[in-house]
Amino acid sequence: MSSHAGTIDHHHDPSTSTGIPNKKLLMWTFLASDCMFFGALISTHLIYRLHPMPDAPSPKNIFSIELTSFSTFILLMSSLMMALAVTAIQKGNLKSMRWSILTTIFFGSIFLGCQVYEFQEFVEIKKMTITNSMLGTTFFTLTGTHGTHVAIGVLWLILMYVRSFQPPEAGRNAAWFIRHAVHIAVIIGAILLAIFATLALVHTLHTGGSISAYFGGHFAMLAGLLACIAAGIFLARPNGPVNFGEANAIDVESMGLYWHFVDIVWIVIFTAVYLLEYL
Amino acid sequence: MEAILKSDLHAKDAHAPAKSTLFWRPTAQTGLISWLTTVDHKKIGFLYGVFALFFFLVGGFEALLIRLQLMYPNGTVLTAQQYNTMFTMHGTTMIFLAVMPLSAAFFNFIMPLQIGARDVAFPRLNAFSLWTFVAGAIIINLGWFMHDGAPDGGWVGYAPLTSKTFAADHSIDMWVMGLQLLGVASIAASLNFIVTIINLRAPGMTMMRLPVFTWMTLITAFLIVLSFPFITIALVELMMDRLFGTNFFEVSNGGMPILWQHLFWVFGHPEVYILILPAMGIVSEILPTFSRKPLFGYPIVVFSGASIGFLGFSVWSHHMFTTGMGTMATAAFSLATMAIAVPTGVKIFNWIGTLWNGHISMRTPMMFALGFVWMFMIGGFSGVMHSAAPADAQQQDSYFVIAHFHYVLIGGSLFALLAGIHYWFPLMFGRKVSEFWGKLSFWVIFAGFNITFFPMHFLGLNGMPRRTFTYDANLGWNAANFIATIGALILGVGIFIYFAVMVYTFLKGEKVAKDVWDARTLEWSLPNPPPEYNYRVIPTVHARDAYWYNKQHKEEIAREEAEKAKAEAAHGGIHMPHQSIYPFVASLGLLIAAVGIAVIDHDPSPGFWGKKIGVSMIGGVVMLAGIYFWALEGNEGYHLHLDDEGHAPADKNAAKH
Amino acid sequence: MRLSSLLTSTARWGRAGFALGALALLAGCDYNFWRMDGHQSTITVAGPVARSQLEVFYVTCWVTLVIFILVGGVLAYATLKFRAKTEAEEKAIPPEQGHGNPLIELGLIGASVLALVIIAIPTLKGIWYTYDVPEDRKADTYEITATGYQWWFKFEYPSEQIAGSGALTTGNELVIPAGRPVRVNVRAIDVIHSFWVPKLAGKVDMIPNRGNFLWLQADEPGYFWGQCAEYCGDSHAVMRFRVIALSPKDFADWVAQQTSPARNVTPKPGETAKAQFASLRTFKQNESGITDKYDVAPLEAWKAKQFPEKGENAALIAQGKALFVSKTCASCHEVRGHGAAGISGPNLTHIGARSMLAAGLIENNAEQLQRWIHDPGAVKPGNKMAKGYLDNNIKLTPENEVALVAYLQSLK
């Protein structure tokens, strides 16, 4: 085992034959595999696009390209924030990394919220379900699989964010363990409540309802959201030394690779599924 | 802060397990817990081998029932449905539950030893792969114990025969879920092998010094990583059709069944090479050892393996010559298929070159390896016949194809795997199979195999279609079918002898010293069985056949080792990973979720627990919990300090083998 | 060790002895397995498409055989010649040698490529030839549409239109004109099937939502065996059919007969219904339903089926005709002119003139027909006819069965 005294070279790991850290290589190989997953799904969509049924719905009448362009832009911005988080931790700047990760989580959640809204609109207003047409089948399966990837990415980001508060000797600290679990729960709670509250607000505005009625009808939800945010802020306060730093840059970087990949896949899906219809 | 930062990348010191932690740190070296929590690649490899051989016997039993049914025309051993279940399960079992995991057993056990590593790159991920494989195997075979029965859609599961309309019960659901789990297991294991081979090579072990078996492991792992996604997506689409009523293969809503075939064979053809490349690797180890010569044309053997893997992705449609692809596509796939014969032939030439001018010692592993070369040649030639699309129009889905791929998969893959068991048995268990019984089993297996499958060429040319539970007496198929069944019984006897001798040797066989074959690669430099930490000192590699070189340069190597041992002791001894139960928990969660999805009826009545969604959710939660704890417990380990004789001190925390 | 060396030294002789033993065993069999001249042989072919495919096969066979002999010869020589004879020799290390020779490798690669080119040329020619009817024969081509169902075949003749009823439709027996190219458009409704008549042409799959076709031609009039060649469920093995090639005149006669409505047999006044044969015997599982009648002179046997049988009992036939409707047979089967117009089962308008029943499985005679009607599921596992009336609690008495059999046999 070689010594790691002094600064850490983030692009070379002397304990491996190639100098590439194991985790990074694992992630690259996994992403190659994941490429094939999406390749198969996107091919399925494109093949069926070329062989529509006579009564098939027209995608243009269903898609709302403005909303999807917006969420695509947001996802791209999240990639930027992810890159900032990796750079921050490589410089040992924990605080900056946490802010960047939180922003990435925020943008990722906006993307997921847009997707929930989109799915709901397609099913309830545009009447396209996963069963009633081939377009619905391939569209929901493909974008749903991608959405699942984003959701897993957001979950991973949350875990990494909370992990960055882990005290030294955590393995013997039951109090920390509970705090850790609560921390994760409040962030997930905040995201879910924020998505549903926003969707409810949009619904209220669409249907011409009054804002005061919205606040009255969703009081518990909004209160819960505020409580989660407050708890999140409370749990994120500085609290002694942490067992997370420059040495964990490789973990953040692997996660970043995944996140960038999911974004790139979305660019392909956005082109193949949405933009192609507007050519 | 500085100290904390550093300590994370490093392993925790040797005292860690002694202190109480939130995480269970199992330290059992024997008993059930030690097996469930092991992260040792050798123990995992052994378990892969045990499960694979069990399923190999199950698949063989299914094959015997198939042959008994066809022994005479209008046979009545099985009903039509039982017969269809048998051939479906025979194919699925042999490919996914016998040959692949048996290869994985060697990947696990031998590959890290060959590159001079102490374990794979991600030991817990390795355990997860094993247990997920077991979960998949359980799901696929669950049908035997249930009312719905085992799957009967053929191992290729062509839609729409496997759709809800034509297979309403849960048997196909089990097949779909089981194969998905096996896909997860195979991909996870392969990612691990790729990182291990690329990153954990001992100093001096350059890529072009890797033993050929390790090279073939690497290529196979890449094939798995790149091809399994296609079958997984096909299975996901089928599962969506069956569970949620989507239209992927629903003909009335515009679904195209041909899509299944494309997705399946984009996976399915590389799968053929996934089955045969490890076998070629094993043979490329055995032939040089018993010819007492280095492998002839090493770079070309490696390169041809890689080109087989690469070309393997461009020939899938030769399984679909009869689906009306049109002239251009048929011609293109026909020529690409012929092209793949060239690198395959190159391997055979180089194996012969290895024998040439050698001192061939005809031991049991060598017999199986030579049997492999002969049988694989025959299977390869009938493969060339299939590449000619017009001829294939007559042969496709006939017994000619059955003969072809059994020559490749039994005469090829299986012979090499059986050779590998004999070859590495002394290393794994310190005992050697008796030459007499080994050779006897070889000849019985060899004879039985050829008597079974050679007549099938003639059956196919005489128009007997595969997957048929009965035939009439007037078609000229009686004699060949009868002979094939007799052959299958002989083959069964051969396999029985092989395994009986294996079990006997495991328990009571002749004990042998290390390096019993005077072999060439690094794994033979270890005492048998190899200690938990494999290499006391990570070896330095100076040449292609590393151990052979070491044996020629004993003094130089001894000096080098002593220096390195000192340096390593100064760094805190041998780093060992902790055992962990969480990979097993994660796989258990997957198993529960898969049972929920595949086996339990959708029940619209109120209530949650015990229902499809409830059981699936419980499984999901167990799996997430497993992964979560797995992540939290961290990849710390402990250190072993060995004395000069290589013994661990009598410290209860330090592992003894 | 001594035993083992004995074993290896005798092994070669053992192998030779075994082969001889196997040959002796085979000599006693009715059909030697290397005599590939069965009804579904791809070797004794009867048409240009199958012949072209066979020629490609022979090319691949000879080329690979030559390579096998060469490579196998070298392998065998190397194994025997360089085998260590003594234990000392086993231990000795052979002299240092080259680890490869680029010239030899390149030469062998070149030779393999050359061998493959020899195979590739006829392969490419064959792909284009077998794909579709040659241009100069297109005008003479006869079109057929074949549809696969679980587990039977429907054949439609688009060029033989029947007023008020569309194209001529038959089931499980495809009658074609000999000497003319026949283009078969293959379709499937339920699952994937495959259309294979080995003596006439290689198979082409019948895939739902996909318009495949093949062409074939029978050189001479003849009777050919066909089989579904893609696993399609429970009874895939017994999804068979026949192709009957007729001379132009016979074919014209056959078309004329088939396009006419179902045959009527009018009872004479006072004639009473009476069973013509003994009660149904029990059949074993998978019991063969064929005699050697169609092995000996199949075409003649088939032609004989085209004419009414002697000793028909008109009153019994009339009973059967009524039962065909009342027992709901008519809801799945069509008998044109007799008020039965079901479409989910085979068209039975001229069922009496077919040589086989249950998709080429059992011979079309009174006993086998009754066996089939009595319990279709026992003859052909999982088929719809069993589900259709046995599961719907439609009972047939033995008298009913006999009457139905007489009626169906009369439909020439």
In the block, residue with structure tokens 């690329």: B198
* Neighboring chain C residues of B209 at a CB cutoff of 8 Å: none
Question: What is the distance between the alpha carbons of residues B447 and B489, in angstroms, rounded to a whole number?
Answer: 11
Q: Is residue C2 situated within a structural domain?
A: no
Q: Confirm whether C231 is domain-assigned.
A: yes
Mutation for testing the B interface, residue in C101, C205, C291 having most B CBs under 10 Å = C205
Distance from CA of B289 to the nearest CA of A (A): 27
* From C53, C204, C382, residue closest to B390, measured CB to CB: C53
- Residue of B22, B232, B631 lying closest to A174 (CB–CB): B22
Position B212 in a domain: yes
Do C188 and C196 touch, CB atoms closer than 8 A? Answer: no
Helix (H) or strand (E) holding C377: helix C376-379
All residues at 6 or more sequence positions from A59 whose CB lies less than 8 Å from its CB, including other chains: A135, A139, A277
Grade residue B496 by pLDDT with cuts at 50, 70 and 90: very high
> What is the C-alpha to C-alpha distance for residues C302 and C300, in angstroms, rounded to an integer?
5
Inter-chain touch B80–C229, beta carbons under 8 Å: no
Judgement on whether residues C152 and C109 belong to the same structural domain of the protein: yes
Q: Is B168 on the interface with C (CB under 8 A)?
A: no
Nearest to B122 among A16, A26, A242 (CB): A26
Look up the domain containing C299 and give its range: 261-412
CATH number of the domain encompassing residue C319: 1.10.760.10
Q: Which residues pair with B398 in a beta bridge?
A: B465
* Distance (Å) from the alpha carbon of B517 to chain A's nearest alpha carbon: 30
Q: Please report residues of C whose CB lies closer than 8 A to that of B384.
A: 60, 63-64, 116, 119
Question: Measured between CB atoms, does C93 come within 8 Å of chain B?
Answer: yes
In a domain, C23, yes or no: no
H/E run at residue C176: strand C173-177
pLDDT of residue B3: 36
Tell me the mean pLDDT in the region B383-390. Answer: 94
- B655: in domain: no
Q: Which of C84, C126, C229 sits opposite B397 (nearest CB)?
A: C229
- Position C351 scores a pLDDT of 95
* Least Cα separation, residue A150 to chain B (angstroms): 17
- Beta bridge mates, C243: C174, C224
Contact B555, B587 (CB under 8 A): no
Q: Looking at the predicted structure, is the pLDDT value of residue B656 above 70?
A: no
Phi, psi values for residue B398, rounded to 5°: -110, 175
Q: Would you say how long chain A is, in residues? A: 279
User: Looking at the partner chain, which of A20, A172, A244 has a beta carbon nearest the beta carbon of B21?
Assistant: A172
Residues of C in contact with B154 (CB under 8 A): 231
Contact C288 B473 (CB under 8 A): yes
C220 and C248: one domain? Answer: yes
Do C124 and C47 share a structural domain?
yes
C325 and C209 within one domain? no
- Residue C167 contacts residue C206 (beta carbons within 8 Å): no
Q: In the structure encoding, which two tokens stand for residue C45, read together?
A: 């072919």
Least confident of A41-55, B602-616, C324-338: B602-616
Chain A neighbours (≥3 Cβ pairs under 8 A) are: B
DSSP label at residue B541? -
How far away is chain B from the Cα of A136, in angstroms, using its nearest Cα? 8
Number of domains in chain B: 1
Short-list A110, A130, A134, A112, CA closest to A122: A130
% of chain B beyond a pLDDT of 90: 79
List CB contacts (< 8 A) between B149 and chain C: none
Select from B2, B6, B128, B641 the residue whose CB has the most chain A CBs within 10 Å, as the one to mutate to test that interface.
Answer: B6
- Residue A247, pLDDT score: 87
**Domain assignment of residue B471, given as a range:** 30-584
| Whole-number pLDDT of residue B654 | 42
Evaluate whether B194 touches B225 at the Cβ level (below 8 Å): yes
- Shortest alpha-carbon distance between residue B248 and chain A (Å): 7
Which tens digit of pLDDT belongs to each residue from A153-205?
999 999 999 999 988 877 677 788 888 889 999 999 999 999 999 999 998 88
**Contact state of C207 with B257 under an 8 Å Cβ cutoff:** yes
Estimate the crossing angle of helix A94-124 against helix A249-269, to 10 degrees.
Answer: 30
Q: What is the DSSP string of A189-225?
A: HHHHHHHHHHHHHHHHHHTT--HHHHHHHTHHHHHHH
Scored b (16 or more CB within 10 A) or e, C37-75 reads: ebbbbbbebbbbbbebbbbbbebbbebbeebbeebbebb
DSSP B540: -
* C212, C321: one domain: no
**For residues A123-137, average pLDDT:** 92
pLDDT of residue B12: 38
How far away is chain B from the Cα of A77, in angstroms, using its nearest Cα?
28
pLDDT at residue A150, as a whole number: 97
Task: Pick B361's closest partner by Cβ from C90, C126, C204.
Answer: C90
Minimal C-alpha gap between C16 and chain B (Å)? 11
Q: Using the beta-carbon criterion (under 8 Å), do A5 and B234 form an inter-chain contact?
A: no
Using the Cβ of B296 and the Cβ atoms of chain C, whether some distance falls under 8 Å is answered with: yes
Cβ–Cβ of A36/B230 closer than 8 Å?
A: yes
Q: Is the pLDDT of residue A50 over 50?
A: yes
pLDDT in tens, B226-272: 999 999 999 999 999 999 999 999 999 999 999 999 999 999 999 99
**Is the four-CA dihedral A216, A218, A219, A222 of positive or negative sign?**
negative
Chains touching chain B, criterion 3+ CB pairs below 8 Å: A, C
Closest CA to B653 of B636, B635, B641: B641
Res A80: pLDDT: 96
Dig out the tokens for C8 from the structure. 């290896």
- The domain boundary, picked from C223, C258, C293, lies at C258
Q: CA-to-CA distance for B267 and C74, rounded, in angstroms?
A: 36
Asked if residues C364 and C357 have their Cβ atoms less than 8 Å apart, the reply is yes
Compare all CA atoms of chain C with the CA of B152 and give the residue at the minimum distance. C233
Sort out which chain C residues have CB atoms less than 8 A from B160's CB and list them. Answer: 190-192, 208
**Separation CA C290–CA C271 (nearest Å):** 33
Report how far residue C163's alpha carbon sits from residue B80's, in angstroms, rounded to the nearest whole number: 42
Is it the case that residue B457 has pLDDT exceeding 50? yes
The H helix count followed by the E strand count for chain C is: 12, 14
CA–CA separation, B423 and B108 (whole Å) = 16
Q: How far apart are CA B340 and CA B584, in angstroms?
A: 40
Residue B469 at interface with chain C, using a CB cutoff of 8 Å? yes
Each residue of B549-605: pLDDT tens digit? 999 898 888 888 888 888 877 777 788 888 999 999 999 999 999 999 998 887 767
Cα–Cα nearest to B108, from B52, B179, B33: B52
Of B349, B381, B397, the CB nearest to C230: B397
Residues C205 and C81 in one domain: yes
DSSP secondary structure letter of residue B464: P
Measured over the CA atoms of residue B538, residue B542, residue B543 and residue B544, the dihedral's sign is positive
In this structure, are residues B266 and A72 in contact, taking their beta carbons and an 8 Å threshold? no
Asked if B378 has any chain C CB less than 8 Å from its own CB, the reply is yes
Q: Which of B215, B344, B328, B196 is nearest to B272 (CA)?
A: B344
Query: Which of residues B374 and B562 earns the better pLDDT score?
Result: B374
Opening angle at CA B77, ends B76 and B79, nearest 5: 70
Taking the CB of residue B645, how many other CB atoms lie within 10 A of it? 6
Residue in chain A closest to B203 (alpha carbons) equals A17
In a domain, C1, yes or no: no
- The answer to whether C352 and C410 have CB atoms below 8 angstroms apart is yes
Q: Using the 3D structure, point to which of C203, C235, C258 is the last residue of a domain.
A: C258
What are the φ and ψ backbone dihedral angles of C176, each rounded to 5 degrees?
-130, 160
CA angle B63, B64, B68 (to 5 degrees): 120
In the structure encoding, which two tokens stand for residue B588, read together? 């258990």
Asked if residue B15 is part of any domain, the answer here is no
Number of domains in chain C: 2
Q: Which helix (H) or strand (E) holds B129?
A: helix B123-141
Torsion over CA of B452, B454, B460 and B466, rounded to 10 degrees? 30
SS (H, E, C) B338-372: HHHHHHHHHHHHHHHHHHCCCCECCCHHHHHHHHH
Task: Assign C146 to helix, strand or coil.
Answer: strand
The residue in chain C having the minimum alpha-carbon distance to the alpha carbon of residue B359 is C84
CA distance C222 to chain B (A): 16
Residues C219 and C276 in one domain: no
**How many angstroms separate the CA atoms of C36 and C24, rounded?**
18
Are residues C183 and C74 part of one domain?
yes
B576 φ/ψ angles, rounded to the nearest 5 degrees: -120, 140
Predicted pLDDT of residue C22? 58
Domain CATH for C45: 2.60.40.420
Between B11 and C371, the higher pLDDT residue = C371
Residue B261 to residue B396: CA distance in whole angstroms: 14
Q: Does B251 sit within 8 Å of C53, measured CB to CB?
A: no
Instruction: Give A32's contacts in chain B (Cβ within 8 Å).
Output: 225-226
Rounded CA separation A207/A200 (Å): 11
pLDDT at B284 over 80: yes
Give the amino acid at B177: M
pLDDT band at A44 (very low <50, low <70, confident <90, very high): very high
Chain B contact set for C36 (CB, 8 A): 458, 461-462, 476
Q: From CA B180, how far away is CA B170, in angstroms rounded?
A: 15
- Residue B269 has a CB neighbour count (10 Å cut-off) of 23
Interface residue B474 vs chain C (CB under 8 A)? yes
Q: Is residue B638 part of a domain?
A: no
Give the torsion sign (CA, A179, A185, A190, A193): negative
Q: What does the DSSP assignment read for C294-349?
A: HHHSHHHHHHHTTSPPTT--HHHHHHHHHHHHHTTGGGT-EETTTTEE--SS---T
Find the CATH number of the domain harbouring B48: 1.20.210.10
Percentage of chain B surpassing pLDDT 70?
A: 93
A240 burial type by CB count under 10 A (0-12 exposed, 13-18 middle, 19+ buried) = exposed
Note whether B82 contacts C: Cβ–Cβ < 8 A: no
Contact criterion met (CB below 8 Å) for C252 and C234: no
Cβ pair A40:B263 closer than 8 A: yes
List chain C pLDDT tens, one digit each, 412 residues: 444 444 444 455 555 555 655 555 554 454 567 778 899 999 999 999 999 999 999 999 999 999 999 999 999 999 999 998 888 888 887 777 666 778 888 899 999 999 999 999 999 999 999 999 999 999 999 999 999 999 999 999 999 999 888 999 999 999 999 999 999 999 999 999 999 999 999 999 999 999 999 999 999 999 999 999 999 999 999 999 999 999 999 999 999 999 999 999 887 777 777 765 566 788 888 889 999 899 989 999 999 999 998 888 899 999 999 999 998 899 999 999 998 889 899 999 999 999 999 999 999 999 999 999 998 999 999 898 888 777 778 888 888 999 999 999 999 8
How close, in Å, is residue C140 to chain B by CA atoms?
22
Q: Which chains touch C (3 or more CB pairs under 8 A)?
A: B
Q: What is the distance between the alpha carbons of residues B180 and B232, in angstroms, rounded to a whole number? A: 6
Q: pLDDT (tens digit, 9 = 90+) per residue, B70-115?
A: 999 999 999 999 999 999 999 999 999 999 999 999 999 999 999 9
Query: Which of B2, B7, B9, B639 should we substitute to test contact with A (largest number of A Cβ atoms within 10 Å)?
Result: B9
In chain B, what is the greatest distance between 2 CA atoms, to the nearest angstrom?
A: 86
Q: What are the pLDDT digits (tens) for A256-277? A: 999 999 999 999 999 999 999 9
